[in-house]
Amino acid sequence: MSLAPTDAPALYDPATYVKGVPYDYYRWLRDNDPVAHLDHPTYSNGYWVVTRHADVQKVSRDASTFRNAPDPFVDDGIMGGGEGAGTSELMISLDAPEHIKLRKIVNKGFTPRRVAELSDRLRARTDAIIDELADRDGCDLVHDLALWLPLHVIADMVGVPEEDRAQVFDWTEKTFGFDASVTPEERGQATMDMFMYADAMCAERETNPSDDLMSVLLHAEVDGEQLTRFQIEVFFMLLQNAGSETTRNLITTGTLALLEHPDQMAIVANDFDTLPTAIEELLRFTTPVVHFTRTANVDTELGGKKISAGERVLMVYAAANRDERAFENPDSIDVLRNPNDHVAFGAGGPHFCLGANLARLEGRIMFEQILSRFEGLRVDGDPADFPRVHSNLIDGFSELPITWDRILPAR
Ligand code: HEM
């Protein structure tokens, strides 16, 4: 085993990701210390970092040994800080049997039929977002284009009326956006306001049910049990977060990846039937959710290392998605790669991304429109200089300037 690089980045620290995901260090870990025991400022026994595809799958699929409670977020190293602070009520922080019960109910809102029904509305929404840009010759891909579709899709599903959306989107950005200029007080206030809004929506749907997700969740039953209003409100918050930041980054980083690989972009642009496989490859290559943790429930063993009950295990999806043992030429994009056993939506197990099919549909419609309506699309500047989100969970850009020659009308 070669020595760890002396400048090995701290994988829990959001500052590490400001210049991009540390793929070189991941490669070193996969080759030299695939189940690494590393120091952490707030986990007294340190934490385990798992970087090979097969090992990440083992941890993710063994939910009785590796639990999501108290939360699956890696602490950012500041006591009480990080994405995990105060998230133990979220579905992603629960284990069986509570998780299974909750998941069975919310699955009713995400059936393939319900997702497919959104398709026409999504197409019209995407056209409208691009039409807004028709008189311009440049914009910020993140704020002017990519973030709107995922925000509207959740709002459409849940049933947020059009007139409330600007307000709800503002709260979402403040609560979950990785904008360093938002103070903790503003974040706290936005969370509270959004929670109160969800409460008022629940109250309204209790008396006037419609066919939106909020009404489905309020009235759904599994084994004679219903969700409480509190559970629905917490789920509303999780959806805003899980569904918007992630998909936005697939769109932005995915578009950048295509622009940087014109041969791959041409394959997709010439045949939109390749989009489903291309999107799986963009998910693998960009990996918008970098990692999640689990906590060992009992003493166990992985890759010859002894992991004690109570210790945290970081499953690095971004490292598993570049594992040479699982993918040929993992650092290259191949939009026709098939099979593609990527772990961008999780590596299997009970918490596999609830919105995977919705994200795929959003990606399909967005990439189709971007590739067919923008003529002469290019990045405006050096991507190495563009700011990235300040997060130790999500990877993406917080700004990505683009320009174009012409926008074609919607077909
Ligand atoms: C490109 C977009 C997306 C990516 C990369 C992504 C990724 C992930 C990952 C890695 C997990 C954890 C899986 C695990 O622990 O096994 C997850 C869970 C989840 N995702 Fe997504 N996601 C995306 C889009 C969405 C969308 C659009 C929604 C909803 C509208 C959504 C809702 C959820 C929820 C509710 C969970 C928690 C599921 C549970 O705990 O059972 N995600 N996602």
Q: Is residue 308 part of a domain?
A: yes
Q: Is residue 95 part of a domain?
A: yes
What's the angle, vertex CA 330, arms to CA 396 and CA 17, rounded to 5? 25
pLDDT at 81 > cutoff 70: no
- If you take atom 37 of ligand 1, which residue's CA is the nearest one? 92
Q: Is residue 6 part of a domain?
A: no
- If you take atom 39 of ligand 1, which residue's CA is the nearest one? 351
Write a three-state SS string for 37-104.
EECCCCCCCCEEEECCHHHHHHHHHCCCCEECCCCCCCCCCCCCCCCCCCCCCCHHHCCCCHHHHHHH
Q: Is the CB of 352 under 6 A from ligand 1?
A: yes
Q: Which residue has the tokens 């690494």?
A: 36
Instruction: Give the count of domains, the chain.
Output: 1
CA-wise closest residue to 90 among 226, 195, 245: 195
Of 198-202, 271-275, 281-285, 372-376, give the lowest mean pLDDT range: 198-202
Please state the rounded mean pLDDT for residues 153-164: 92
Q: Is residue 3 part of a domain?
A: no
pLDDT at 288 > cutoff 60: yes
Please state the rounded mean pLDDT for residues 153-171: 91
Distance 348 CA to ligand 1 centre (A): 12
Q: Is the CB of 272 under 6 A from ligand 1?
A: no
Q: Is residue 118 part of a domain?
A: yes
Instruction: Express as a percent the part of the chain with pLDDT over 90.
Output: 75
Is there a contact between 5 and 28 (Cβ–Cβ < 8 Å)?
Answer: yes
Ligand 1 pocket test, candidate residues 160, 236, 246, 314, most atoms within 8 A of CB:
246
pLDDT value of position 225: 84
pLDDT at 407 > cutoff 60: yes
Number of Cβ atoms within 10 Å of the Cβ of 327: 22
Q: Is residue 296 part of a domain?
A: yes
Ligand 1 pocket test, candidate residues 353, 366, 391, 394, most atoms within 8 A of CB:
353
Expressed as residue numbers, the domain containing 382 is 14-407
pLDDT at 84 > cutoff 60: no
pLDDT at 86 > cutoff 70: no
Distance 91 CA to ligand 1 centre (A): 11
Of 40-49, 204-213, 374-383, give the lowest mean pLDDT range: 204-213
233: domain CATH number is 1.10.630.10
Q: Is the CB of 286 under 6 A from ligand 1?
A: no
